Amino acid sequence: MTQQTFTKVKETFIPSLNITLQEYEHNVTKAKHIHLANDDSNNVFLVGFLTVPEDSTGVAHILEHTALCGSENYPVRDPFFMMIRRSLNTFMNAFTSSDWTAYPFASQNKKDFYNLLDVYLDAAFFPQLEYLDFLQEGHRLEFSEIDNPESELVYKGVVFNEMKGAMSSIGSILYQELTKALFPTTTYHNNSGGDPEDIPNLTHEALVNFHKKHYHPSNSVFMTYGNMDPLEHQAVFEEKVLSKFDYQDFDFSVKDEKRYTEPQKFTATYPLPVDEPLEKQSHVINSWLLNPIMDADELMRARILSSVLVDNASSPLRLALETSDLGTAPSIFCGLEEGTREAFFSCGLEGANGDESEKINQLIVDTLIQVRDEGVPQESIEAALHQLELASREISGDRYPYGLRLIVDTLTPVLHGGEAYDALSFDESLKKMREEIQDRNFIPNLIDRLLLNNPHRVMLTVNPSHTLADERVAKEKARLAEIQSSLTEADKEKIIREAKALQARQSQIDDDSILPMVTREDIPKKLTFPELNYQEGVVLGSPTTNGMTYQSIVVDLPALTEEEMVILPFLDAFITEMGAGSRSYLEQQARISAVTGGVSARTMYQPYDGDIRGYWVLSGKALLDHSDALASLLRDIFFDARFDEVKRMQEIMAQIKVGREQGIVSNGHSYAMGVASQNISLISQLEQRLSGMQSIKDFREIEKRMKDDTECRAFGEKLAALLTKLQQSPYEIIVLNDSEQIEKIGQDFAAVMAHNVTEDVTRFSAPFSEHSEEKVYLGWAINAPVFYCAKSYKTVTRDHQDSPVFQVLTGFLRNGYLHRAIREQGGAYGGGANYNASSGAFNFFSYRDPRLEETLADFDASIVWLLENEHDEQQLEEAILGVISAIDRPKAPASEYGDRYFMAKYDRTPEDLEQYRAAVLNVTIDDLKRVAREYLANPDTHTAVLGPKAALEAAGFEVKQL
């Protein structure tokens, strides 16, 4: 088709990605359109705006939420969430970064793609931004008893509660304090998500004005990916949006930060529960502001330097930090940050004493001086280049669609005036770097120029406080009390009137027929499954891997004692981080970095024939040229891994402890569901023991014991004995790549791995034959001012005929009741229902929730709503579409082959999945009501909540704490 409203600026083929980069500019508004053309049917769209907040009221973040609450052509209350359930999307979301806002989606269905495009464009450029939606999504004042002006005044709002939860995470606190210190004069000084103390200062008028200023085509970039025609996309852009705008000469560009003339020191605090000791709980971080990310070669140099210094345990700066007694683990901020217009490099320690921050700062400088003066092995620099090439080649796509990953990687530099090609293709820059690194002073010069002689250095110490959390609560209460004391009668009436108006709006049923929709007729009739080539002891698959190979050893998990089962996760974590044979862990880590893109171990469990079947998997990935080296490396790890490096084991334990504890706040809903469902089945009890809240508590105790060298050696001996047991169990080799030499690669790998096994080994069975069926009513105290609530019911597992019904029921309850009650009315960031087909647990959950008892009551009320009301077929269709969309969602090519392999290991065939999918399509409303009456009618079921200790105790929970 011909499209004259855009001019093609350039077209470039990128061979390393097999993508054609097409760049266009709109003739009138100068809006950019960047299209990544290839043969992928999972097409992606994103529109992004440079959004530069001048304060921490969260205006960009709240606007992102509010824009999705109704638009000019779709004036319904919640078109975004309505479209989630009316489409076959493979991804839908909206993102607020520190300096941009983006609205992305992906779909494999052309009709669905253009349905979503229509709604997204209208939401971004023509949102209603109604006052009541601002109150719901942003912040509002409300009386705790909605009609009683004498009751306590409280803050409510989805983003307000989201950011309360987010800013209780130590990672968020550290990042915010770091950017505030590094960027004293530019937008990154502010919290773009919103500081809970500042969010109530945002007005509706300021929100509307921010949209008028920033959401204009002349300040936008349209980005697409996939096999659809970009000219068709442009026709829609023109008709729906661009024809209605003229060019405007915006300048929202972020300026260069005003540089410090000497290093600066900053201190801050973070809340720590009163039962945690204050000693060795500080975080000390050093950070240097570097060059703008638009300079591709300079950015590549910074990446190489960061990789050489901190990428793995053998890297000199990471080694100095890991082996220092000044802290327990390297900071989570060790490396290069590219999400701001000017990149910055950070390193530091956590688990430190704040009064020793000077020693830590000096350790970092001394190490940099030593590396500068002594240099680094050339192999380390070559390994850094190797890692960058791997990162540019790998086709990911499990968490986000691959095309979206490429687009997001490109978005920041493009919005700041950089070239899309430079963000996507590393080939030319890597070629140039290969020449530059031949200079033996390459790394020393970079250390001098970017770090040691760079005065824009921040030394940040963040100390724990037992009182900060209470101080924040008291401050908020005092602020609200002051507001309440000054309210006039008219003010009180306004608060009540707005609360009731919002309540009425949240309760109204919108006419969703104005929204586009796909139907069951648009669903593909058949799934496609990858084909595997089974040879003796070797399984081969040929996904598109872009010059990479994925190789694994899959071991049948043998019978284990309960102790062996409990320590198996430690073997998974340790085995790829230790030495092997005569190699120390430092030599082994250097070897891994030089020839692979990473190696890992994991254990898989699934119910099988009334028990549990398990597999232990050791995997790695590499460029095809290194397939033999990867095979040799995996062989050495499997047969010769060392567990006698005591200091190293203690370091790893400390790092794992930090990571697991810091992950609680961001995954609180999953942990809450795990606690609530722990007595549902053998597999749910196993999961709680090995990866749930109880496992984190147990891990703490083991980590404490392992600080004693004798205990640590004994633990290492247990791990070595467990590995010996795995070596004697039957195994298979898997090789996945698109090489014509795949059979030879597989045969060579099998030859390297050949060893004698015990063919009649007893397979794994749950070491506890029975699980407790005692009702769970449990709270876990966590360091957050919000709740994560869960209820769990025992239902059926995957092979039962009602399993597809429960899959559909999750979406039906979320769409019809839970989303409105928990998010819109209750103010939680998220909530819904979840069905675990492996354990047979049907769960309700909430996420970053200001409420506790009310949310638990909403879970129960959703069942009553289902059973006592008539429901139309449209609601059912939407719930079914959601399940089918999840089943059909593509993954990275190598992952799809891996999934196919493990389906077969658990005796699940493609026909089984086809039948399951067909059963989903045939679920009826009567089915939903039937299973609810049979399995979910008793509200007195398993309940778990993560949240503040005092509130849990007040609600009558038995409370555990880490």
- Smallest CA-to-CA distance from 627 within 549, 569, 571, 703 is with 549
- Helix (DSSP H) and strand (DSSP E) numbers for the chain: 34, 28
- Smallest CA-to-CA distance from 275 within 782, 788, 837, 813 is with 782
CA dist., res. 618 & res. 599, Å (int): 7
pLDDT of residue 827 exceeding 80, the answer is yes
The DSSP line for 785-826 is SSBEEEEEEE---TTSTTHHHHHHHHHHHIIIIIIIIIIIIT
**Residue 546 DSSP label:** T
**What pLDDT is stored for residue 758 in this prediction?**
79
How does pLDDT run across 518-577, given as a tens digit for each residue?
988 999 888 889 999 999 889 999 999 999 999 999 999 999 999 999 999 999 999 999
H helical segments located in 706-741: 709-727
CA distances from 84 to 131, 517, 884 (A): 24, 10, 12
Segment 835-841 shows an average pLDDT of 96
- Number of C-beta neighbours around residue 211 at 10 A: 21
What 3 state SS string does 748-782 have? HHHHHHCCCCCCCCCECCCCCCCCCCCCCEEEEEC
Q: What are phi and psi of 180, to 5 degrees?
A: -60, -40
CA dist., res. 295 & res. 297, Å (int): 6
Quick one: pLDDT band at residue 396, thresholds 50, 70, 90?
confident
pLDDT of residue 508 exceeding 90, the answer is no
Output the average pLDDT for the chain: 95
- Smallest CA-to-CA distance from 5 within 236, 340, 327 is with 236
Active site residue 322: no
**What pLDDT is stored for residue 565 in this prediction?**
93
Instruction: List beta partners, residue 258.
Output: none
Q: Which of 23, 25, 54, 64 is catalytic?
A: 64
CA dist., res. 538 & res. 364, Å (int): 47
CA dist., res. 414 & res. 405, Å (int): 14
**What pLDDT is stored for residue 769 in this prediction?**
58
**What pLDDT is stored for residue 1 in this prediction?**
43
pLDDT of residue 27 exceeding 70, the answer is yes
- Number of C-beta neighbours around residue 754 at 10 A: 10
Instruction: List beta partners, residue 349.
Output: 284, 330
- Percent of the chain at pLDDT exceeding 90: 90
**What pLDDT is stored for residue 771 in this prediction?**
65
Q: Please, what sign has the CA dihedral across residues 64, 70, 74, 78?
A: positive
Round the CA-based radius of gyration of the chain to a whole number and report it.
28
Quick one: pLDDT band at residue 414, thresholds 50, 70, 90?
very high
- Smallest CA-to-CA distance from 843 within 733, 959, 941 is with 941
**What pLDDT is stored for residue 395 in this prediction?**
85
- Smallest CA-to-CA distance from 757 within 740, 736, 732, 782 is with 732
**What pLDDT is stored for residue 794 in this prediction?**
96
Quick one: pLDDT band at residue 788, thresholds 50, 70, 90?
very high
Within the chain, what is the greatest distance between any pair of CA atoms? 85
CA dist., res. 672 & res. 944, Å (int): 6
How does pLDDT run across 241-250, given as a tens digit for each residue?
999 999 999 8
Quick one: pLDDT band at residue 814, thresholds 50, 70, 90?
very high
- Number of C-beta neighbours around residue 138 at 10 A: 27
At the fourth CATH level, which superfamily is domain 6-251+477-507?
Metalloenzyme, LuxS/M16 peptidase-like (3.30.830.10)
Q: What are phi and psi of 123, to 5 degrees?
A: -65, -40
Segment 194-214 shows an average pLDDT of 98
The DSSP line for 271-285 is E--TTS-STT-EEEE
**What pLDDT is stored for residue 611 in this prediction?**
85
CA dist., res. 495 & res. 877, Å (int): 39
CA dist., res. 927 & res. 920, Å (int): 11
Quick one: pLDDT band at residue 765, thresholds 50, 70, 90?
confident
User: Is there a contact between 196 and 163 (Cβ–Cβ < 8 Å)?
Assistant: yes
**What pLDDT is stored for residue 250 in this prediction?**
87
**What pLDDT is stored for residue 526 in this prediction?**
85
pLDDT of residue 835 exceeding 60, the answer is yes
CATH topology of domain 264-400+410-465: Cytochrome Bc1 Complex; Chain A, domain 1 (3.30.830)
Pairing between strand 731-736 and 777-781? unpaired
- Which helix (H) or strand (E) segment holds residue 861: the answer is helix 853-868
pLDDT of residue 417 exceeding 80, the answer is yes
Q: Please, what sign has the CA dihedral across residues 96, 97, 103, 109?
A: negative
Distance, CA of 750 to chain centre = 35
User: Is there a contact between 194 and 64 (Cβ–Cβ < 8 Å)?
Assistant: no
What are the tokens at 233?
């996309």
How does pLDDT run across 670-718, given as a tens digit for each residue?
999 999 999 999 999 999 999 999 999 999 999 999 999 999 999 999 9
Q: What letter represents residue 609's amino acid?
A: D
Lowest mean pLDDT among 176-185, 605-614, 845-854, 867-876: 605-614
CA dist., res. 607 & res. 797, Å (int): 9
**What pLDDT is stored for residue 346 in this prediction?**
98
**Residue 703 DSSP label:** H
pLDDT of residue 120 exceeding 90, the answer is yes
Quick one: pLDDT band at residue 4, thresholds 50, 70, 90?
confident
- Percent of the chain at pLDDT exceeding 70: 99
Q: What letter represents residue 706's amino acid?
A: M
The answer to whether 544-725 and 777-961 have equal CATH topology is: yes
Cα separation of the two ends of the chain: 63
Ordered by start, the domain boundaries in the chain are 6-251+477-507, 264-400+410-465, 544-725, 777-961
Segment 824-833 shows an average pLDDT of 94
CATH number listed for the domain at residues 777-961? 3.30.830.10
- Smallest CA-to-CA distance from 766 within 541, 561, 599 is with 561
What are the tokens at 384?
């850094």
Pairing between strand 342-352 and 329-330? antiparallel
Whole-structure pTM value: 0.93
The DSSP line for 482-545 is HHHHT--HHHHHHHHHHHHHHHHHHH----GGGS----GGGS-SS------EEETTEEEE----
**What pLDDT is stored for residue 305 in this prediction?**
98
CATH architecture under which domain 544-725 falls: 2-Layer Sandwich (3.30)
CA dist., res. 360 & res. 892, Å (int): 41
How does pLDDT run across 459-484, given as a tens digit for each residue?
999 999 999 999 999 999 999 999 99
What are the tokens at 91?
């991804």
Quick one: pLDDT band at residue 437, thresholds 50, 70, 90?
very high
Segment 602-617 shows an average pLDDT of 92
User: Is there a contact between 175 and 460 (Cβ–Cβ < 8 Å)?
Assistant: no
Segment 112-120 shows an average pLDDT of 98
CA dist., res. 902 & res. 736, Å (int): 14
How does pLDDT run across 870-927, given as a tens digit for each residue?
999 999 999 999 999 999 999 999 999 999 999 999 999 999 999 999 999 999 999 9
Segment 120-143 shows an average pLDDT of 97
pLDDT of residue 850 exceeding 50, the answer is yes
CA dist., res. 212 & res. 666, Å (int): 33
